[in-house]
Structure formats: C-alpha cells, structure tokens
Structure 1
C-alpha cells in the first residue's frame, strides 16, 4: 500500500499520527501512547532509574521519504534541535531519485575483554589459546538463549599491551549476540570465564567487560544525489570541497561529524539504543588512523552527480534493554518495521548520511543559518510567550527583519 507523505510538515498532529498509524498498523493503545507526551508514566520511570522524581520529554518527529535497500521507511527521530528532521527528509527525497540508500551491515559481534596482570604474557597466551574450547563452552553456558539459536561466544583471541604499570594480557571474547545490543550478555560471559582465565594463566584478572568500540559491527553504505536536484554542478563541487575541509582539519571534522550524529542519535533515541556507546565508537573510529577525520566521504560519479559514503561502528539491538520496557521505543521500532538489528543499523547509518548531505549542501550554498534560524525562531516565539495562533506572525516578522531574538519577539507581542 502506498502512503502519501507529501507536505507532511503542513499537516496537523492528528493527520500525521493517522498517516503513521496506517503505515505501521498501530493499535489504538499505541496511538494513545503517542498522544501521551513522554510515553511513560512516573511509575515506569521509577523502575528504570534510581531516585526518580519525574520524566523529561523530547520532541518525537517523523523523517519522510527514506528508501533504504529498496524498502520505504518512515523514520522516527527524537531530537530537540530544529531543522534536523526536515533536513533528513529533504536529503532522503533527493536520494530517492537515484534509488535511495544502499546499506550493508556486519554480523552482530560483540567484543568482551578480560584484563590479566602479573603474568608471563607469552606463556599465558599459549595456554589460553590451547584452552579456547573449554573457555568458549563455559562462556556459552552463561546464556540460555544464544547457543540455542546458533549464536553465542565464537572465538578467543589474546593481545599484549605495554603500560607504565607493566605488560598486561588482554583476552578478548568474540560473541554473536544476534538481535540484541548485547552489553549484558557480554559482561556476564566475561565475568563467568574470569576465574577460569585466572586458573589457566596463574595471573590476576582485574577488568572483565565489553568494549563499546564495536568494530565487528560496522554499517556502511552509499547514496547518489542527482546534481540538478542538489543545485547544479557548482554546488556539487562545493560540497566535495567542504568535505575535503573536514577530511583534513580536525576542528572542522568535529562539527562535520556532529552533524552526522544528529541524524544517527535522533533515530537511536527513538528506538531506545545506547546512544553513548554509539557516540563513543563513532568518534574512536574517526580517529582510527591516528588523526580525527570525517566519518563520511564525498565525491562525484562520471555524470557529475554527488556520491556520499558512510562507514561507522553501529552496536544496536531490537530485543532486550530499554526497548522492552519503554512503550514509545517499542512503537518507534514498529513504525520502522525492522526485522533485525542489522536492518536497524542500516536505517540509522542512512539517517547519518542523509543529515550530513543536508548540512553540507546548506553550508556550500545558502549557509547553514537560513533554514536553521527560521525553525529556531519558532522556539524563540514560544519562549517569549506567544500562543499557537501568534507564533507564525512572530516568526514571519522576525525572519523578514533578520532579527531573531527573545527581546524582539516580546516587542512584537506587545505590538500585537
């Protein structure tokens, strides 16, 4: 069934929810949850964190026009920053002309680490590798689920690191966690095999915990943006030059990558992912060659069309964690219609690439502030005390004057 999402931003809330509800086949209860700002009660919040005193809401919006691996998506995004959802939707619409986003994702392998000290590292490594089957069997006994579905601990490896405190042996456990993010099962397995590691090596185990640097869970992909839709050959060339700036200058790369993460974290927030883990891994990967650089690459094809690529670690899940307890996260995942963690990773990666395109296009043409400040003006108008009926008048007046400030908004309100 085809759904008309054109001019989605012009529709009122009820119309938007109706479109999303039909697209995702939402139940009446799920629609009511969306209409209940925040999505969770205090009682639910009190079970999630310690010392709870309330809930804190962020806007939940829908990015439209996304075609990823030939499938249509409405993409939920939770973010407080103006222009992000509109920019992602616009980018997806332009990418759609050439077939949308083509994304790939690795298997869902999590990496657990066991730190061993006070050992002869070379000798201990040999003992660990000889005992790898025993270690893996013990690790897999700590999960009642993974081994039954062909997942679980798959491989043991060792490395030595030299520190000011002396050499350390790091035993790494590679675990196929399936459709889970996998932090809990990885930590459980690491803790479960730690006594055996000590016995085998005659060393002392200190830390036993997962690594959030999820380089065995990479998502990558590409999209082609037709040069006429981008704004012409000059704009395409300017975007490539803007990317080159980020590729070779760390100060620009940080802001460049922040824009990518605007898209990525907004979708991760909506679907209940560990956003801190995603952020940490992304920025570590941007520095993998010893210098912080862009997470995307931009060039053009033989016809002069703009081609964007992204590659980024992406540790996400569709089972376990917050997604099991937060009703809005469940609904957002249902809206996406994802069947696996791999599919979710592809969507999140595409959102990052889309957002990066829109930011670069704005910077390389009209400047970032024109559209951004127009949306920001709505926040200023609301902060000044404007009612819903007055906000559009204030926004139009402030943007026409080029004076978007709380003081000017109050002055206009006084005139009204």
Structure 2
C-alpha cells in the first residue's frame, strides 16, 4: 500500500497529487450527486467516470448477455461508499455493494474509531492458488504419492507451459504436493499444483494447468484421473488486518471488556461463530461484489478457514485488550480476489469501483477487503456489547419498511420516527402510521 497520506503521493497518472482525506464531514447528508462529486474529488478521478452508477448507464442488458447465459435482465444493488478508512497510511474511500441496511454506516463508523491509532495495518502472502488432481483406482497410494513427487519437475514444467504470459509477469507454478485422502468410497491420491497467479483471481489459470497434467499424473500414479479443478480453500493466499480501537471512542473500559467477552464466545461456540463470521462477511462480500470479484469463492475460503485444526468451527477474528486498555482487533483469512479477468474488467460498475479505490495490485485489494471485514466485525460486536444490534439497525431498516409501505420522501422522516419509537418496524404497522398521517394531513 502507499505511504502515509501526510505526504504528497504520486497520482496513478504519474503527477503529484495533494494529500486527501477519506474523512468527509456530513457525507451522509449530501445528495447523491454531491456525494459522487466528493468521491471523484477525493479519489482524484474524473466525475464522469462515476456516471455508470446510474442504472440506465451501468450494466446494460446486451453486456449482461455476454457475461452469463440465458439473460433476461439485470438486478441492481445499492452501491455505497464507506468513508474514514486509512489502510497502511493511505486514505481510502471504499465502494460497497449490499442490500443490507447499516452495513456501510457501520464500517464507516468503525473506520473512524480506528483512525485514532493510525487506521488499519495489513499484509498478504503471495497470491498462490491451488489446483487439485484426483487420482482413483490406485493400488499403492503411498508409493504413488512418492512417484509423483519424484516427477515433480516434469509435472511443474508441463503445467507452466500452459501459461507463458503468467510466467513473464513473474507468476507460475511454485510447487507440487501430493496427499493421500481416505474416503468412504476408497483411497485417493490427490496432487496439488501451487500456482502464483499474480493479479488474477486465478481460477481459469490453475484449472487449465490441472487439465494439462492430469493424464500424465494418472500414468505416474498408476490410476485414473477424475476431478481436476482449483480449491477455494485458498489457505496459501492469506490477507491480514489489524487495528487498535481506542477505549474512550468505544465507550470506555467496560465496553472493551464486554467486546472481548462477546468475541470469546464466538471463538468457543460455533452457533455464535456463524453469526460473528457473517458480520465479517457483510463487509467483505460487499467490497468483493462491488469490484466484480467472486463472492462465493471468497465466502467458501473464509468459512473453510474458520475450521480449527481440531475440527471446531470458530471465529475468523480475534479481539484483545492491550496494555493501554484499548481494544486490538485482528483478522486473517484467505482472500482470492483479482484485478484482471472476469467481471472486474467487463462490468462497468466494477471498473468504476476499482477506480475509486485506486489499488494497483490484487494484494492491495485483498488487504483493503480484509480491513473492511475487520471494521464491520468491530461495529457489530460493539453494538451487541452495548445497546444491542437492533437499536442501531432499526432506524435504517425502518426506512426500507416505510418505503415498502408506500411512504413518499417527504413522509419518510415522520414514519421512520414512529416505527422506531413504537419499536414495531413492520410493514403492516408502517401502513397504519401512513394512514394516520395522511388522515391528519
């Protein structure tokens, strides 16, 4: 990531741009047009590049028809901007695509709290994806495993020959490992290709390599090859984020202690861990989706990573109290995202989202996504440890309910206020409130 925003930074075009801040006062109170203008100015991009965020200028049906099959239309999702983020010293505005109320606001608020101690600090491993080749009907699986390892250089060269461009860019096959996997239907020999995919998510590259080596691997092992495909358990492609959240900003020492207690339950109890991790993914999936990446792949990798070595499903994040009494949050998980291939280049909104972020590599994008996941998680656990999740969520959800009930923009404030005051955020109640308001008017 870039150096501190306190100094001048080179713009992506090569010119020097003045430092900017993601702390935009009153951003939520601006009109949509004014927000776009503020985002364009802060991200140092042309305002017209955000025009694709209009439904009639974004993903057209003819383009959608080229992205997937049997197209009959498109479905829009709100794209919000999370403010206040500082990641490795760089000020960032983060696009998030989500239908769930409070997600963008919660991430922005947590990022504001993290700013007190410098924001989020992140790192990644190399962008290594794995492809599996399953070999069945092997009479001597342990010996077959060693035979495959003896032919490692041959198989690696065969796989590497499938993608010379990847090798030119500094990527390519890094290793071959082999596992013997017992199952209810037999014992399988499973070869893993470890491939540095650079700035791609990498599915197409590793799948092509697996197909290429499958027959030869089967010959060496003395069996029949069956499945040859990547694994989304991308545990060699990890992203990490940490942040310190000041106790005073969170609500005091007692709140810090209660957040630690709430997080500890998620570590120990899979029932709590499932919802705890869902809160992390609220942030992660929203950024992954906004940037045109594969939400299902990232989610599968995350939840598989939440299985401890003992087989216990646990929380992905950890929260601790440091020596100063502040809260320290950490998050580490697989993050298979890319900047090339797929919808990242074909979807106009994804291209706009990436221009707002201004990241230069898949590693940078993975780090930002992980920081947002940690921010989202902190916001949720803090809410649970204080007023409960519903209070903060209720007013935002009430807007959706009031709109569904037919409230006009002018009627929304009064209807929302009543729904929250009555603690009855339901469409039937909103309809009754609307009828009363209109009768009195």
The TM-score by the shorter chain falls in which range? over 0.9
Q: Which of 379, 382, 385 is the equivalent residue of 2:406?
A: 385
CA apart distance, 1:381: 0.8
Moved more, 355-364 or 400-409: 400-409
1:37–1:57 contact (8 Å) kept in structure 2: no
Q: Partner residue of 1:363?
A: 384
Q: Partner residue of 1:36?
A: 55
Is the counterpart of residue 316 in structure 1 residue 337 in structure 2? yes
Is the counterpart of residue 348 in structure 1 residue 348 in structure 2? no
CA apart distance, 1:198: 2.1
CA apart distance, 1:233: 0.4
Is the counterpart of residue 135 in structure 1 residue 145 in structure 2? no
TM-score, scaled to structure 1: 0.97
- Provide Cα deviations, 1:235-257, integer angstroms capped at 9, x if missing partner: 11111111111111111111111
Q: Partner residue of 1:259?
A: 279
Distance in 1, Cα, partners of 2:26 & 2:285: 25
Q: Partner residue of 1:65?
A: 84
Q: Partner residue of 1:112?
A: 131
Distance in 2, Cα, partners of 1:34 & 1:144: 37
Distance in 2, Cα, partners of 1:402 & 1:207: 53
Give 1:191-210 correspondences, 5 Å limit: 191-210=211-230
Structure 1 pair 38–166 and aligned structure 2 pair: CA distance change class (3 A)? farther
Is the counterpart of residue 411 in structure 1 residue 432 in structure 2? yes
Structure 1 runs of 4+ with >6 Å offset:
none
Give 1:100-179 correspondences, 5 Å limit: 100-119=119-138, 120-179=140-199
Is the counterpart of residue 283 in structure 1 residue 303 in structure 2? yes
CA apart distance, 1:392: 1.4
Distance in 1, Cα, partners of 2:70 & 2:28: 38
Q: Which of 304, 326, 332 is the equivalent residue of 1:305?
A: 326
Distance in 1, Cα, partners of 2:389 & 2:131: 41
Is the counterpart of residue 401 in structure 1 residue 426 in structure 2? no
- Provide Cα deviations, 1:346-377, integer angstroms capped at 9, x if missing partner: 11111111011001111111111011010001
Which runs of 5 or more structure 2 residues have no equivalent in the other structure?
1-17
CA apart distance, 1:389: 1.6
CA apart distance, 1:29: 4.4
1:62–1:76 contact (8 Å) kept in structure 2: yes
Q: Partner residue of 2:72?
A: 53
CA apart distance, 1:300: 0.6
CA apart distance, 1:38: 7.6
Distance in 1, Cα, partners of 2:57 & 2:48: 15
Which runs of 5 or more structure 1 residues have no equivalent in the other structure?
none
Distance in 1, Cα, partners of 2:33 & 2:69: 35
- Provide Cα deviations, 1:68-127, integer angstroms capped at 9, x if missing partner: 111110000011111110000000000000000111111000001101112222332222
User: How large is the RMSD of aligned CA atoms in angstroms?
Assistant: 1.3
Secondary structure in 2 aligned to 1:206?
A: strand
| Number of positions where the alignment pairs a residue of Structure 1 with one of Structure 2 | 416
1:38–1:55 contact (8 Å) kept in structure 2: no
Q: Which of 345, 358, 366 is the equivalent residue of 1:337?
A: 358
1:38–1:57 contact (8 Å) kept in structure 2: no
Distance in 2, Cα, partners of 1:263 & 1:336: 15
Give 1:207-218 correspondences, 5 Å limit: 207-218=227-238
TM-score, scaled to structure 2: 0.92
Secondary structure in 2 aligned to 1:389?
A: coil
CA apart distance, 1:397: 2.2
Moved more, 200-209 or 101-110: 200-209
Secondary structure in 2 aligned to 1:75?
A: strand
Secondary structure in 2 aligned to 1:145?
A: helix
Q: Which of 104, 117, 126 is the equivalent residue of 1:85?
A: 104
CA apart distance, 1:219: 1.0
Secondary structure in 2 aligned to 1:187?
A: helix
Q: Partner residue of 1:14?
A: 33
Secondary structure in 2 aligned to 1:339?
A: coil
Moved more, 144-153 or 202-211: 144-153
